[in-house]
Structure 1
Amino acid sequence: MESPKTSKKRGGPLSLFKLVMFALFVAAVTKELQKDPEEREWHGTVAGFVPYEFRIPTLERVKERVWDPDGAHILSPHVWGVGWTVNVGRVVAVVREKLAD
Structure 2
Amino acid sequence: MSRKKHTDHVETAAHGGGGLKKLLTLVAIALMAAAVVKELRTPKAERGWHGKIASVVPYELRVPTLERARERLWDPEAEHVVGPRVFGVGWSVNLGKAVAVVRQKVGV
Smaller-chain TM-score range? Answer: 0.7 to 0.9
Report the RMSD for the aligned CA atoms in angstroms: 2.0
Q: CA deviation at 1:53?
A: 0.3
Q: CA deviation at 1:48?
A: 2.1
Question: Which is further off, 86-95 or 9-18?
Answer: 9-18
CA contact (8 A) 1:24 1:47 kept: no
Q: TM-score, normalised by structure 1?
A: 0.87
Q: 1:2 to 1:39 in 2, by over 3 A?
A: farther
> Aligned letter for 2:52?
T
Partner residue of 2:64 out of 41, 57, 71: 57
Higher CA-based Rg: 2
Partner residue of 1:36 out of 33, 36, 43: 43
Q: CA deviation at 1:47?
A: 2.3
Structure 1 runs of 4+ with >3 Å offset: 1-4, 7-11
> Aligned letter for 2:25?
K
> Aligned letter for 1:54?
L
**Structure 1 or 2: more helix by fraction:** 2
SS at match of 2:77: coil
Determine whether 1:80 maps to 2:87.
yes
Q: 1:38 to 1:2 in 2, by over 3 A?
A: farther
Partner residue of 1:100 out of 87, 90, 107: 107
For 1:36 and 1:65, the matched residues in 2 are separated by 28
Aligned length: 99
For 2:3 and 2:26, the matched residues in 1 are separated by 27
CA contact (8 A) 1:74 1:86 kept: yes
